[in-house]
Amino acid sequence: MSAGDDAQLLRVAEAFHGEGHVSDIRPLGSGNVNDTFLVQSAGGLSVLQRINTAVFERPELVMHNLQQLVSHLERKREHPALRHRRWEHPQLICTQGSDQTWHCCSSGGFWRSLSFIDRATTVDVIESEAQARELGSGLGLFHTLISDLPVETLADPLEGFHVTPLYLEAYRRALATAAAPGDDASRFCMAFIREREGLASLLEDAKQRGDLPLRPIHGDPKINNVMLDRSSGRAVALIDLDTVKPGLVHTDIGDCLRSCCNRLGEETTDLEAVRFDLTLAEAILEGYLAEAGPLLSAAELQLLPDAARLIAFELGLRFFTDHLNGNVYFKAQHPQHNLQRALVQFRLTASIEAQMGALRRLVQRLSGTSRVGGAPAGPWPS
């Protein structure tokens, strides 16, 4: 950052903590959308975030949902599920001398400040089955605690998020306007998508039939959005709550599975080694269903394997579309970054498909339901 950027960042932090009370600001995390910083002030550590308004065009809706969520979770402190475990959620910090929870800087940035969850960490790649079980448990506990948060009190800050048919339409528009890809990797992605276009509407069709109800969801519970206690290893919080909204729990569970069960992580370049780890999937689902299983209907349980496949495919579709559009949504370190990310997700999709029968039997054993079906895996580029 330049000296001017540093000075503006200090002024923003001081809007929340007071002039002269901020001693240190440093980058935090590896998010693909927002800019996040760790702030040391007279009051201790806090998190400062600039919400990406190119993604969240109405950031006030993000803040509305966060306020609804925080108020709801405050009322859940005596919930039976919390009697014997640590569980926290970020607290909103108001600007100095006001009850406003966000600040607009002179250059138009939309900022918020949140309490820092101490003695906790996140991981980008899963380390053990016990950790996988705890990640599933954390998501299940979160769903349990917000299950009675009325969906009508939540706005939709990112319309179309996790509506896969809309991503397919966006991909087609990008394909129609972009220069014809000449590389093998892009041609492979195009063929992979073409073979699986029928998958896109699976969850939306089930929702339209009434099989899947709208529920409050996190929206983005990937592996590094679940915080783990540094000492016990237990899940203590879900963070990055911008995408909390009415939705389908399948997008949350599917995202958790696809991000946790790839031991190499989203950024690997070793495509041949990418696979969906069924052992980790079992641990995640055990943890999740132990906390939230009673919330789900038989129809919802039956579609869990489909959700894992669909969300991996959806993210690959989004990465490839962004590559075609010139990397305007996801932060990219180089021009081919989102293409590489897309290939990882498509490889993961194919691995899920190859094990779909086993995954369905796993869900059947854990929940007493089953479903059959599958899709072609397709060849991989050399």
The answer to whether residues 214 and 324 belong to one domain is yes
pLDDT at site 30: 66
The answer to whether residues 64 and 173 belong to one domain is no
The answer to whether residues 134 and 266 belong to one domain is yes
The answer to whether residues 15 and 114 belong to one domain is yes
The answer to whether residues 96 and 163 belong to one domain is no
Contact (Cβ atoms closer than 8 angstroms) between residue 330 and residue 338: yes
Please give the single-letter amino acid code of residue 381.
P
Residue identified by tokens 């895996």 is 377
The answer to whether residues 114 and 133 belong to one domain is no
Please give the single-letter amino acid code of residue 106.
S
The CATH number linked to 23 is 3.30.200.20
The answer to whether residues 328 and 258 belong to one domain is yes
Domain of 79?
A: 3-118
In order along its 382 residues, the chain shows pLDDT tens digits of: 444 578 999 999 999 999 999 999 999 976 667 889 999 999 999 999 999 998 899 999 999 999 999 999 999 999 999 998 999 999 999 999 999 999 999 899 999 999 999 999 999 888 899 999 999 999 999 999 999 999 999 999 998 999 999 999 999 999 999 888 889 999 999 999 999 999 999 999 999 999 999 999 999 998 999 999 999 999 999 999 999 999 999 999 999 999 999 999 899 999 999 999 999 999 999 999 999 999 999 999 999 999 999 999 999 999 999 999 999 888 899 999 999 999 999 999 999 999 999 999 999 999 864 333 333 333 444 3
The answer to whether residues 70 and 182 belong to one domain is no
pLDDT at site 324: 97
Torsion (CA) 41, 43, 47, 50 in degrees, nearest 10: -70
How far apart CA 139 and CA 162 sit, in angstroms, is 17
The CATH number linked to 290 is 3.90.1200.10
Q: Is residue 57 part of a domain?
A: yes
Q: Is residue 372 part of a domain?
A: no
How far apart CA 208 and CA 211 sit, in angstroms, is 8
Q: Point out the domain boundary residue: 118, 151, 166.
A: 118
How far apart CA 143 and CA 32 sit, in angstroms, is 24
Q: Is residue 380 part of a domain?
A: no
The answer to whether residues 64 and 208 belong to one domain is no
Global confidence as pTM:
0.89
The answer to whether residues 94 and 137 belong to one domain is no
User: Rounded to 5 degrees, what are φ and ψ at 47?
Assistant: -110, 130
How far apart CA 229 and CA 85 sit, in angstroms, is 11
